Amino acid sequence: MRVSADSSTEKKIDLSKMPLPLPGSSENAPLNATEIIDQMDAFHRHKMMICDELEAIADSLPFEIDPAQCMALARSLKATVSSIQAFEERYFFPLVARAGKLKGVMKTVRDVLEQNHREDEGFAEELAEALVDLGLCVSGRDAETTGYMLRGFFEGMRRHVALERHLLLEPLRAHLSHPPQ
Ligand SMILES: [Fe+2]
């Protein structure tokens, strides 16, 4: 399963408009299950937009890259990925863990997804450096190497989001819509 950004996201991402911090929520405000699920859905779509942007850069290598696009992504990539993943681990995973029949699958899935998170944070930092080099036109990497880095990151992130949605988000939404009697 692949989650696609909708057609309105075909334009370049304005990461300054990313929904962080949570709209209308202070740091200590409790979030209900629907708010958490809706926010996760928005974050997944945002991650898919980032993937689309990175794929566009990979496709434009080596001669047609947009330096401004590279710099914009480089500035926000690590913080964006870290913030989204922190939300998932603070709000979403505990919500799943409390959800009845999903408890059984949670431990294994959560371990895998959290390991993915740590890897993605490290990878995002490396990728941000590569994007800065591209943006400044000083990259010492060849296009094949940079393309490999970009594709490794966005393909992994798409798989991660698909897994999270298929195994957790959609079953959780169904569970909350039809709680056991
Ligand atoms: Fe995740």
CB 82 within 8 A of CB 152: no
Q: Quick: pLDDT tens for 39-60.
A: 999 999 999 999 999 999 999 9
* CA–centroid distance, residue 181 to ligand 1 (Å): 30
Q: How far is the CA of 62 from the centre of ligand 1 (A)?
A: 31
* Terminal-to-terminal C-alpha distance of the chain: 30
pLDDT value, residue 151: 95
Q: What pLDDT score does 6 carry?
A: 42
CB of 160 closer than 8 Å to CB of 84: no
pLDDT tens column, 24-34:
445 556 678 88
Determine, yes or no, domain membership for 15: no
Q: What is the mean pLDDT of the chain?
A: 80
Does residue 13 belong to any structural domain of this protein?
Answer: no
For residue 138, the CA-to-ligand 1 centroid distance in Å is: 32
How many Å apart are CA 130 and CA 11, to the nearest integer? 23
Query: What distance in Å separates the CA atoms of residue 45 and residue 48, rounded to the nearest whole number?
Result: 5
- Residue 54 Cα to ligand 1 midpoint, Å, equals 18
| Secondary-structure breakdown of the chain: helix, strand, coil percentages, each rounded to the nearest 5 | 75, 0, 25
Predicted confidence at residue 102, as pLDDT, reads: 63
- Its domain, for residue 74, covers 33-177
Q: Residue 63 sits in a domain of what CATH number?
A: 1.20.120.520
Residue 90 lies in a domain: yes
* Average pLDDT of the residues in 114-133: 89
User: Could you tell me which of 157, 122, 172, 150 has the C-alpha nearest to residue 55?
Assistant: 150
Domain membership of residue 7 (yes or no) is no
pLDDT above 60 for 85:
yes
Cα 43 to ligand 1 centroid, rounded to whole Å: 9
Query: Full-prediction pTM beyond 0.85?
Result: no
CA distances, 31 to each of 10, 37, 90, 102, 172 (Å): 31, 10, 11, 20, 16
Q: Give domain status of residue 37, yes or no.
A: yes
Instruction: Give which of 63, 114, 126, 44 is closest to 86, Cα–Cα.
Output: 114
> Which of 16-20, 86-90, 107-111 is most confident?
86-90
pLDDT of residue 24: 45
* Domain contains 8: no
Domain membership of residue 17 (yes or no) is no
99 close to 180: Cβ distance less than 8 angstroms: no
Q: Give the number of domains in the chain.
A: 1
